A and B are shown apart, each in its own frame.
Chain A
Amino acid sequence: MSNFRRAQDEAHPNKTSTLTLAIIVVQILLITLQIWLLYSGLNNTLEHNRDVAIPALIASFILFLACCGLLYFLPGRKR
């Protein structure tokens, strides 16, 4: 039975290369969002506003899971 991984392994190297680059770009975007969340949480905490830190932590954790989840779609090594 075919699955996405087998189809990916048989794809042209140009396609897998584009996919790898796309995953890296999305990961960088997710990290940029995490940096913004960390900055906002820190500034609000220093301003004695506690309501931002916990939602920022939860959102940052979800983005981390998304970042790790993208590794699943990373093309395998060419053998």
Chain B
Amino acid sequence: MGTKQYPQPPDWQRDFPYRQEEARLVTRREFSRMLCLISAAMVTGSGYVAIRSFWKGKKGPAGRFAVCSVSELPLGGTRSFQLPGSNTPYILIHLENGQFRAYEQKCTHLSCAVFYKAGTGKIECPCHNGWFDANTGEVVQGPPPRPLPALEVMVESGQVYVNGPA
């Protein structure tokens, strides 16, 4: 009576087994080849970024939008808002010097919500202690790699308007 023959798993499954104890088949040669695959993945990623940098994708809403009236926002006050047809959260800030600024309310590090710290002139990202200049949106401190995207703000007849990012 012959012993029952089980089908051999394919090569890729023997190189990357499910269970740890079967992992002895992965040699340094195979690991080195796998590093080449990772390197190819990096080239693919860089290619995707290069294509996206020249691809004109869907833009944000264009035009002028009313956010609130000047009297609704005291000095140092903030208001969160969204533009029609967009899910991106924005924050309107009434700075202590009387000027208005509007920024995307997503940290450029890992997209946590940012908040204006009244009296300091700085916007704080509490997730990883990132700080932005409330006047310019530039990074002051912490891990964020880019400034906060800003919207143009206009004040006309007691009403605060912003221009869409498109």
The answer to whether A and B come from one shared complex is yes
A-side residues, CB < 8 A to B, are 20-21, 23-24, 27-28, 30-31, 34-35, 37-38, 41-43, 45-47, 50, 53-54, 56-57, 60-61, 63-64, 67-68, 70-71, 74, 77
Looking at the complex, which of B4-12, B49-57, B59-67, B150-158 is the stretch in contact with chain A? B49-57
Bound: A46/B145 CA distance, A: 10
Q: Is the CB of B28 within 8 A of A53?
A: no
Q: Is the CB of A41 within 8 A of B43?
A: no
Bound: A68/B38 CA distance, A: 11
Q: Is the CB of B35 within 8 A of A27?
A: yes
Residue pairs across A and B with CB atoms within 8 Å: the count is: 84
Q: List 23 A-B contacts (CB under 8 A).
A: A20-B32, A21-B28, A24-B32, A27-B32, A30-B39, A31-B38, A31-B42, A34-B42, A37-B46, A41-B50, A41-B53, A42-B49, A50-B54, A53-B49, A56-B46, A57-B43, A61-B43, A63-B42, A64-B42, A67-B35, A70-B32, A74-B29, A74-B32
Interface residues of B in 57-116 (CB under 8 A from A): 108
Contacts of B145 in A (CB 8 A): 43
Q: Is the CB of A31 within 8 A of B146?
A: no
Known: A41-B46, A60-B46. 4 other contacts (CB 8 A): A31-B38, A41-B53, A63-B42, A64-B39
Bound: A20/B38 CA distance, A: 18
Bound: A56/B42 CA distance, A: 11
Total interface residues on B, CB under 8 Å, equals 24
- Measured CB to CB, the closest approach of chain B to A56, in angstroms, equals 5
Interface residues of B in 15-45 (CB under 8 A from A): 28-29, 31-33, 35-36, 38-40, 42-43, 45
Bound: A3/B32 CA distance, A: 23
Q: Is the CB of B36 within 8 A of A57?
A: no
Q: Is the CB of A54 within 8 A of B38?
A: no
Q: Which residue of A lies closest to B54 (CB)?
A: A50
> Which listed residue, A27, A34, A68, A77, touches B46 by the CB 8 Å rule?
A34
Q: Which residue of B lies closest to A34 (CB)?
A: B42
Q: Say if the beta carbon of B142 comes within 8 Å of chain A.
A: no
Contacts of B31 in A (CB 8 A): 24
Bound: A67/B40 CA distance, A: 9
Contacts of B32 in A (CB 8 A): 20, 23-24, 27, 70-71, 74
Q: Is the CB of A53 within 8 A of B46?
A: yes
